[in-house]
Amino acid sequence: MRHYEGISLGNSIAIEVQELTKRYGELIAVNGISFTVNRGEIFAFLGPNGAGKTTTVEILECLRRPTSGKAYVLGFDITKHQPEIKKRTGVLPQDFYTYERLTVKETIQYYAGMFDSRPDVDELIRLVDLEDKKNVLFRNLSGGLKQRLGIAVALVNDPELVFLDEPSSGLDPKARHGVWHLIDGLHKKGKTVFLTTHYMEEAEILADRVGIIHNGRIVALDSPERLISEHGKRNLLILKKTSPKAVPNIEKLGIKANYDKTTSDVTVHLNHAVAVSEILHTLSNTDIPFGELQLKRSSLEDVFLNLTGVSLGEEESGI
């Protein structure tokens, strides 16, 4: 357990943030947020561009100074012990970029020299699955391969904590899943991972806990499962090409249903699993046909919409 300026962080806590605020004139980019990140977990900030994700991470990486509030990374005060924090953390910024004429291997060696560390370069290359690309110039790599190399660079000092800022942004689905697999591998190696993302699926699949951030504030923080259970719309039953007569018959069961005149679909918010069989039994008894039945599980997208009133796609870009 480390002690600095009267602050004690137990071995289970990697990051502690207390009422952190960052202002740019009249703009409040981060608005009095508080949270902790546990050692060994993948923690995700989920929110749109401009929500305050990157600003928060750059403060924790000692790249920006907060306007007010406190933050401790691995037991060190971000305003007083920056060299100690930088020694122990790895960083993948948005859109990782480096010297175009360096090969994959040369890039890792170059950054290792900057940190005065002696990593096993070949092992890092194997870890990010770039063995067949180690002599390829950076400029000739695809976006997904560049991100993998960026993660290798973030690991040259064998950090306890790794910051990954939008690691799969702009990648195609195959490359994105490759990056996800790599992040999961870091987790299995015991690294603490702080991930920022605007991809709900990414947060839901990877993160042990998710902080949903909106307009500089954390509006919810918990495991994906608990967030969905508490704030989601629960599961949806969609009856395709159905008569509007289905709605009053379903609502006799005490279950809310909606009819879409455009698609002729009936959408039902399910309160419990038995509701599906009850609904089908009711429709069968009343001779109301439907074309197809779909079940849709509630997701973090529903949670975000429920908590903020907007979808991620409707948010404005910003800091």
At 55-80, the pLDDT tens digits run 999 999 999 999 999 999 999 999 99
Q: Residue 19: pLDDT above 70?
A: yes
Contact call for residues 151 and 128 (beta carbons, < 8 A): yes
Tell me, rounded to whole angstroms, the distance of Cα 193 from its chain centroid: 10
End-to-end CA distance of the chain: 35
Mean pLDDT of the chain: 90
- Rounded to an integer, the average pLDDT of 289-295 is 83
Helix (H, G, I), strand (E, B) or coil at 8: strand
Ranges assigned E (strand) in 137-248: 161-165, 192-197, 209-214, 217-222, 236-240
Separation between Cα atoms, residue 289 and residue 317, nearest integer Å: 45
Q: Is 48 exposed, middle or buried (0-12, 13-18, 19+ CB in 10 A)?
A: buried
Taking only the tens place, the pLDDT of each residue in 118-163 is 999 999 999 999 999 999 999 999 999 999 999 999 999 999 999 9
Separation between Cα atoms, residue 286 and residue 120, nearest integer Å: 70
Out of 200-209, 232-241, 244-253, give the one with best mean pLDDT: 200-209
Contact call for residues 255 and 269 (beta carbons, < 8 A): yes
Taking only the tens place, the pLDDT of each residue in 91-111 is 999 889 999 999 999 999 999
Q: Residue 2: pLDDT above 60?
A: no
| Choice between 214 and 299, residue whose per-residue pLDDT is larger | 214
Amino acid at 261: K
pLDDT score, position 143: 93
143-154 helix and 173-188 helix, angle to the nearest 10 degrees: 20
| Choice between 12 and 236, residue whose per-residue pLDDT is larger | 12
Separation between Cα atoms, residue 56 and residue 66, nearest integer Å: 9
